[in-house]
Amino acid sequence: MPIRKVPSGAALLLLCLLLSSIITSAQPVHATKAEWSKPYKPFRIAGNLYYVGTYDLSCYLITTPKGHILINTALETTVGMLKANVEALGFKFEDIKIILISQAHFDHTGGLAAIQK
């Protein structure tokens, strides 16, 4: 498999996400917050990096001509919101080709199966 060059801004974001997952303490699976499902307007952070998450669960979209990268999938119940946020920015949800998860907590992985379908 060929090595692909990652844009420097995206590489920095990925490094920060990986480091935060190392120092984050585990949370109970049953813990939920109303803010996790609260809508939040998507926005461009810089270059081809966008915030597409909820009010209190961060999800990021990195756009590329060969397909997009989604970082984190939030909760299963918020997948429709993530899709709407991606489309509100003018991108196609179906163009997401890679999904990255910053940590294995349910609030980061909950929507993974629904999005993969």
pLDDT (tens digit, 9 = 90+) per residue, 62-81?
999 999 999 999 888 889 99
Residue 22 belongs to a domain: no
CATH of the domain at 55: 3.60.15.10
pLDDT of the residue at 25: 46
Residue 27 belongs to a domain: no
Instruction: Please state the pTM of the whole predicted model.
Output: 0.72
Measured CA to CA, the distance from residue 12 to residue 32 in angstroms comes to 29
Q: Does residue 112 contact residue 98 with C-beta atoms inside 8 Å? A: no
Number of domains present in the structure of the chain: 1
Domain that holds residue 79: 33-116
pLDDT of the residue at 67: 96
The per-residue pLDDT for range 3-32, each reduced to its tens digit, is: 566 556 666 666 555 555 544 444 444 456
Question: Residue 116: is its pLDDT beyond 70?
Answer: yes
The sign of the CA dihedral 27, 29, 103, 100 is: negative
| Mean pLDDT, all residues of the chain | 81
